Amino acid sequence: MVPNVAVFMLLGSRVFYQSWPCCGSKNREFPYPLWPVHCSQNKLAAARFLTIVQGMNNALAILHKVFGYNSFRPPQAEIIDTLIGGGDALVLMPTGGGKSLCYQIPALARKGCGVVISPLIALMQDQVSALHEAGVKAAFLNSTLDFQAVRAIEVALQREELDLLYMAPERLKQERTLALLQSVPLALFAIDEAHCVSQWGHDFRADYLELGVLHELFPHVPRIALTATADVRTRNEIIERLQLQDARQFIAGFDRPNICYRITLKDNPRQQLLRFLREEHPSDAGIVYCLSRQKTEETAEWLQSEGFTALAYHAGLSASQRAGNQARFLREDAVVMVATIAFGMGIDKPDVRFVAHLDMPKTIEAYYQETGRAGRDGEPANALLLYGLQDVIKLRQMMGESQGSEDHKRIEQHRLNAMLGLCEITTCRREALLRYFGETRPVTCGNCDACLQPAQTWDATESARLALSAVFRTGQRFGVNHLIEVLRGSNVDKVFQFDHQHLNVYGKGTELTVNQWRSVFRQLVARNYLSVDLDGFGALRLEELCRPLLRGETTLALRRDESVKRSKAEKRSKAKPAAAAGDLDHGLWEALRALRTRLAEEHKVPPYVIFHNSTLEALCRQRPANLEELGRISGIGERKQERYGPVFLALLQQHQ
Ligand code: ADP
Ligand code: ZN
């Protein structure tokens, strides 16, 4: 509920006052009847107030009419207000937070066309087709258009017929484009995925650096930069490079409460993935991330053989293969995309129900960004990460080999440590994630594996000492497997070849199984007691941190790795499969979905552009009897009510 607000209005020389009981209902008209009040001292303040109120009133009307939503999410209203008032804004909002409306609505409310800079062609096309469905005059300029099509859009812009124009930064910086933009009224510039100016992130785009000129060439056009990347370094780089020193900053909370985070030890990862898909996401769209191109292809093929619609995506595929696979992922209902990190930036699909990682991401930023592609629609979604000793070793080695300056390496190392720390903690994952981004939270969230099934720890002091001694006694030249052979007193040739059967650690570790020893070594590496040699064989070396432990001055508690059976967390956190909640009329639900698919095909747009699942679910539950009732459902604006209302009503009637 929106609280009551006091509204001043200035008419002629008199200020009017109204206490406005805003209920957020779509159909209320504003202004209500007004009372005059004698407030002559502060006419100016009242006038300023009036501009904002009118702007917001307008914004709310647009939200209802065009997008069919009832109220703004925080802090959308404030951002929109800032832009309508002519100010600049820097917006950090998690994926799915609703960034697009923050510039789309001011572009509609202000005079002139809003120019949106977006790095990806696919994203522009999706946004523009979704805007067309909502009846907005939007277009994009990019390399897929021929000269005539470009010309037609330029003419439309000059005739002031466009509300929104999307383009890539390469296009914007061309003389021709800049000259054109200078000749027409502009409502605003929106710089989407603004972290692309940052050289730290993996999405860096050199053309973004030139967007600094906007400030000089268009000093009176408000600018809004948007990103979902949280870290302070990136944020400062955005401000500096885009000259947004005077912009208001809006930093929304980063929590994604609908995503259930699970981080599990690898133990036959293919079977783990298969079980996860079969039991929790048998007919959902999702993304499976792998580190290498080859692994994405093999995994996709194998998933196909298991009956899933799985496609591969990586930078080694041709542009047309990539575009084709991406289009299928967006348009079809339940495609599993098996991909490297090349996939995902700007993927706007709201109903991705899961993101699974078969390899560990290098940083928490990357992990959060990738998992953040799940559940944009706010419905329950799962993030599953499978990791193991080999991931830790491989990433540690990659880090060591990376080129970059010492400073850069130190930062990378720090980031990797944080990621490993997240995997190994026994406390709430969400709390740790948000703490990393500088947000404090209650210590349990109730929607992560650690909260749903608390992990156990054990006093590993003695075992860790033994493991470290084994590393030391064998000369810091051997990898985990050999060390475990020695500890468990094995008779393999290699032990005798190096005469390790005479060491005093030989055979001292029979109390732990091979897997338990792997767990000890993994955690010692993850916690920096041991480092991994760069020779490619994974030899372990002692680090400074070992000393107090070896001298008996500290103790060490380690996570007890569950044998990977189906855990309680998995059972409890089941994401609802595609809104097929038990109490829905299944027949009607399927019929609504089929109608949506047919319309989507006719209009050549993804199904969610017609209606989101949540809108379909509301249709199914509320069964509106006429257009007016249908128009009140969230997600149905005027244009969609006109266009699709009658066919959906007819279908609902058939199912009475
Ligand atoms: P982002 O770009 O921040 O990832 P989007 O702009 O794509 O997020 O919005 C995510 C989803 O939330 C979209 O489906 C959008 O229609 C919906 N949405 C945004 N704002 C609102 C709102 N005020 N009320 C209801 N739904 C909203
Ligand atoms: Zn938790």
- The percent of residues above 90 in pLDDT, for the chain, comes to 57
Q: Identify residue 115 by its one-letter amino acid code.
A: V
Q: Is 493 exposed, middle or buried (0-12, 13-18, 19+ CB in 10 A)?
A: exposed
Q: What is the pTM of this model?
A: 0.71
What pLDDT score was predicted for residue 59?
A: 93
- pLDDT reported for residue 117: 95
The residue whose CA has the least distance to atom 13 of ligand 1 is 98
For 118-141, what is the mean pLDDT? 90
Nearest Cα to Cα of residue 336 among 393, 286, 403, 395: 286
Cis peptide bond prior to 33, omega within 30° of 0: no
Strand partners of residue 11: 14
What residue type is assigned to position 246 of the chain? D
CB contact at 8 A, 115 and 181? yes
Ligand lying nearest the CA atom of residue 452? 2
Write down the residue that tokens 């870290």 correspond to.
Answer: 231
Question: What number is the average pLDDT over the span 456-477?
Answer: 94
* Average predicted confidence (pLDDT) for the chain: 85
Per residue in 109-122, pLDDT tens?
Answer: 999 999 999 988 87
pLDDT on residue 36: 39
| Residue ID of nearest Cα to ligand 1 atom 24 | 69
Order of all β-strands in the sheet with 336-339 = 259-265, 381-387, 352-357, 285-289, 336-339, 310-313
- The residue type of 12 is G
* Gap between the Cα atoms of 82 and 199, Å rounded: 29
Beta strand 164-167 pairing with 14-20: unpaired
Instruction: For each of the domains in the chain, give its residue range(s) and CATH number, in order of start.
Output: 72-251 (3.40.50.300), 259-452 (3.40.50.300), 457-561 (1.10.10.10), 578-654 (1.10.150.80)
Q: How many residues does the chain have?
A: 656
Across residues 481-497, what is the average pLDDT? Answer: 94
Instruction: Please name the residue whose Cα sits nearest to atom 18 of ligand 1.
Output: 98
**Residue type present at position 651:** L
- Residue 393 confidence class, pLDDT cut points 50, 70, 90: confident
- The secondary structure element, H or E, covering residue 616 is helix 613-622
Interior angle at CA 365, CA 361 and CA 371, nearest 5: 65
Task: Using alpha carbons, select from 577, 572, 641 the residue that is nearest to residue 613.
Answer: 577
Q: What are the backbone angles phi and psi of residue 245, rounded to the nearest 5°?
A: -55, -30
User: What does the pLDDT read at residue 332?
Assistant: 86
In what helix (H) or strand (E) does residue 459 lie, and over which residues does it extend? Answer: strand 456-459
Q: How far is the CA of 19 from the centre of ligand 2 (A)?
A: 42
In whole angstroms, give the CA distance from residue 489 to residue 510: 7
Amino acid at residue number 555:
T
100 Cβ closer than 6 Å to some ligand 1 atom: yes
Pocket test for ligand 1, best of 2, 101, 634 (most atoms within 8 A of CB): 101
| 352 DSSP β-pair partners | 285
Cβ 73 under 6 angstroms from ligand 1: yes
How far is the C-alpha of 192 from the C-alpha of 238, rounded, in Å?
Answer: 11
Q: Characterize 417-441 residue by residue with b for buried, 16 or more Cβ atoms within 10 angstroms of its Cβ, and e for exposed.
A: bbbbebbbeeebbbbbbbebbeeeb
Q: Which ligand is nearest to the CA of 569?
A: 2
Helix (H, G, I), strand (E, B) or coil at 225: strand
431 alpha carbon – ligand 2 mean position (Å): 6
| Ligand 1, atom 17, residue with closest C-alpha | 98
| Amino acid 244: pLDDT | 94
Query: Which stretch of DSSP H or E encloses residue 264?
Result: strand 259-265
φ/ψ region of 541 (left if φ > 0, alpha if ψ in -120 to 50, else beta) reads beta
Q: Is the peptide bond before 75 cis (omega within 30 degrees of 0)?
A: yes
Q: Is the pLDDT score of 534 beyond 80? A: no
Integer Cα distance of 371 and 497 in angstroms: 47
- Pocket of ligand 1 contains residue 99 by CB under 6 Å: yes
Question: Residue 98: CB within 6 Å of ligand 1?
Answer: yes
| Tokens, residue 521 | 């070594």
Indicate whether residue 69 lines ligand 1 (CB < 6 A).
Answer: yes
| Cα 411 to Cα 180: distance, rounded to the nearest angstrom | 43
The number of the ligand nearest the C-alpha atom of 453 reads 2
441 pocket-lining for ligand 1 (C-beta < 6 Å): no
pLDDT exceeds cutoff 60 at 638: yes
d(CA 229, CA 405): 23
Look up tokens 């002559």; give the residue: 40
pLDDT band at 12 (very low <50, low <70, confident <90, very high): very low
> 64: Cβ below 6 Å to ligand 1?
no
Average pLDDT over residues 305-331: 93
C-beta of residue 385 within 8 angstroms of C-beta of residue 422: no
How far is the centre of ligand 1, averaged over its atoms, from the C-alpha of 293 (Å)? 32
Q: 591: buried, middle or exposed (CB in 10 Å: 19+, 13-18, 0-12)?
A: middle
Residue owning the nearest CA to atom 2 of ligand 1: 99
- The four Cα atoms 76, 99, 193, 207 give a dihedral, to 10 degrees, of -80
Q: Is 350 in the pocket of ligand 1 (CB under 6 A)?
A: yes
Integer Cα distance of 459 and 529 in angstroms: 16
pLDDT in tens, 53-106: 566 668 999 999 999 998 898 899 999 999 999 999 999 988 788 999 999 999
d(CA 140, CA 115): 9
Whether 130 lines ligand 1, by a CB cut-off of 6 Å, is: no
Distance, CA 235 to ligand 2 centroid (Å)?
Answer: 27
Report the pLDDT averaged over residues 23-39.
36
**Quick check: 569 and 452 in contact, CB under 8 A?**
yes
Mean pLDDT in residue range 377-389: 91
Q: What's the rounded Cα separation, in Å, for the pair 409 and 139?
A: 43
Closest atom of ligand 1 to 102 CA is: 6
Give the ligand whose atoms come closest to the C-alpha of residue 105. 1
Q: Which residue has the higher pLDDT, 169 or 575?
A: 169
Q: Is 95 in the pocket of ligand 1 (CB under 6 A)?
A: yes
Is the CB of residue 26 below 6 angstroms from any atom belonging to ligand 1?
no
Whole-angstrom Cα distance, residue 203 to residue 373?
A: 15
Which ligand is located closest to the Cα atom of residue 375? 1
Instruction: Tell me the CA–centroid distance for residue 104 and ligand 1, in Å.
Output: 11
Q: Of the ranges 82-86, 407-411, 604-608, which one carries the lowest mean pLDDT score?
A: 407-411
Residue nearest (by alpha carbon) to ligand 1 atom 26: 69
User: Which 3-state string (H, E, C) describes 95-147?
Assistant: CCCCHHHHHHHHHHHCCCEEEEECCCHHHHHHHHHHHHHCCCCEEEECCCCCH
Name which residue sits closest to atom 15 of ligand 1, judged by CA: 98
451 Cα to the center of ligand 2, angstroms: 4
> Does the CA dihedral 61-66-70-71 come out positive or negative?
negative
Which ligand has the shortest distance to the CA of 116? Answer: 1
The vertex-54 CA angle with 52 and 55, nearest 5°, equals 60
Q: Tell me, what's the pLDDT at 19?
A: 41
- The rounded Å distance from CA 99 to ligand 1 centre is 7
Q: 396, 378, 400: which is closest to 387 by C-alpha? A: 396
Counting ligand 1 atoms within 8 A of each CB, the residue from 133, 254, 376 with the most, and so the one to mutate, is 376
What ligand is nearest to the CA atom of residue 450?
2
Question: Which pLDDT score, from 0 to 100, does residue 532 have?
Answer: 82
Question: Helices marked H in 183-318 — which ranges?
Answer: 213-217, 232-241, 269-280, 293-305
Q: Is 339 helix (H, G, I), strand (E, B) or coil?
A: strand
* Closest C-alpha to 348, from 368, 327, 317: 327
